[in-house]
Structure 1
Amino acid sequence: MVDVEAALLLGAGAFVAFAIVGLYRILQGPTMHDRVVAVNVVGTNTVIAIALVAGAYDAPVFLDIALVYALLNFLLSIAISKFSVEHGGVL
């Protein structure tokens, strides 16, 4: 039988790896839109990883941290999109 804590931590590690791969698109994205989507993907993967760690260690305080990080990620996306529209980044 698989240990649930180990499985959750393995899943969290996988999401962290996906987030690191997403950093490539942030740095090398050909357009601003690619970079915005990549920032959202990295932020979402980070929130999921934090939530999985919270489940693995039975620490609900990590869920609060994940929720705040998710809200900040959303606000960052809105701010980048607004900046892009105001400076002619949308065709």
Structure 2
Amino acid sequence: MIAGALTIALGCVSLALVLTLYRLFKGPSAADRILALDTLVINVIALIVLLGILEETMVYFEAALLLAMVGFVGTVAYAKFLLRGDIVE
């Protein structure tokens, strides 16, 4: 039962990943692309967590946590660069 639910969830997250990649490449403005990149990181984190549940190992959860931290810092840096044109003042 859980394996079937995980398979469906992996399919849905993979579809969301593909749609987010489309928005990343097709986005009309830089702000849309930054938002798509942040959403892409969230989708990849969800994919990693689902794979960790499926394979019953803790390594995937640590990787998801590290990716979440790097993704947050990257999104803040991109947004700051977009607003000010400079990351470090």
Question: TM-score, normalised to structure 1's length?
Answer: 0.85
* Pair 1:34 & 2:32 matched: yes
* Pair 1:9 & 2:31 matched: no
Q: Distance in 1 between matches of 2:52 and 2:78?
A: 29
Q: Name the structure 2 match of 1:61.
A: 59
SS in 2 for 1:59: coil
Q: Distance in 1 between matches of 2:8 and 2:48?
A: 12
Q: Name the structure 2 match of 1:25.
A: 23
How many residue pairs align between the two structures?
Answer: 86
Using CA pairs below 8 Å that are at least 6 residues apart, which structure has the higher relative contact order? 1
* CA root-mean-square deviation: 1.5
Give the C-alpha shift of residue 32 in structure 1. 1.0
Q: Distance in 2 between matches of 1:62 and 1:6?
A: 20
- Moved segments of 4+, more than 6 Å: none
Unpaired runs of at least 5, structure 1: none
Unpaired runs of at least 5, structure 2: none
Q: Distance in 2 between matches of 1:84 and 1:15?
A: 28
* Pair 1:80 & 2:56 matched: no
* Pair 1:50 & 2:48 matched: yes
Question: TM-score, normalised to structure 2's length?
Answer: 0.87
